Amino acid sequence: MYFIVRVTASQEKITADILQSKSKGKDNGVFSIIMPQGMRGYIIVEARDEVACRELILNEPHVKGMLPKPLSDEEISKILSAKQQSQDISPNDLVEFFAGPFKGYKAKVINTDPQKDEITVELMDVAVPIPVTTKSNMARVIEKAEKV
């Protein structure tokens, strides 16, 4: 059975590591700990039953609780197979934000950081162009830069 555990946002990896080391080498009914991409503030625990999962997360830092209903096999396969569509964003591309605080703004890409999935842009149509770093999944390319 798969259970969704709520954790402090941005602490998913740390919490997963703590839970993994706690269950390592023990026959406590916990089979795996999954940290799905794009599920901020949640991890998935594969356990024998709800009791085994609750014992694992009991009194652990960053754990906020557990959703009471386990995931079905269809739901877990849907979550694990869902891949975020990655874009090829390059410097000098023009992008438009469709989410976040800059929604609706157009910007020119100055720099990209694929490891952090971030882009640095200069907003267009503003009085003073200031470089802004944001997640690349909040923008879509509207015009590719010409390759020389």
Domain ranges of the chain: 2-81, 94-143
Spatial CA neighbour of 16 closest among 51, 64, 57, 54: 57
Residue 2 has pLDDT above 80, yes or no: yes
Residue 75 has pLDDT above 60, yes or no: yes
Residue whose tokens read 């802004």: 132
Q: Does domain 2-81 have CATH number 3.30.70.940?
A: yes
Q: How much is the mean pLDDT over the chain?
A: 88
Separation of alpha carbons 109 and 94, rounded Å = 6
Is this model's pTM higher than 0.75 or not?
Answer: no
Q: Among 42-46, 48-52, 75-79, 86-90, where is mean pLDDT lowest?
A: 86-90
Separation of alpha carbons 109 and 111, rounded Å = 6
Whether 2-81 and 94-143 share one fold: the answer is: no
Task: Give the N- to C-terminal CA distance of the chain in Å, as an integer.
Answer: 54
Fold of the domain spanning 94-143 = SH3 type barrels. (2.30.30)
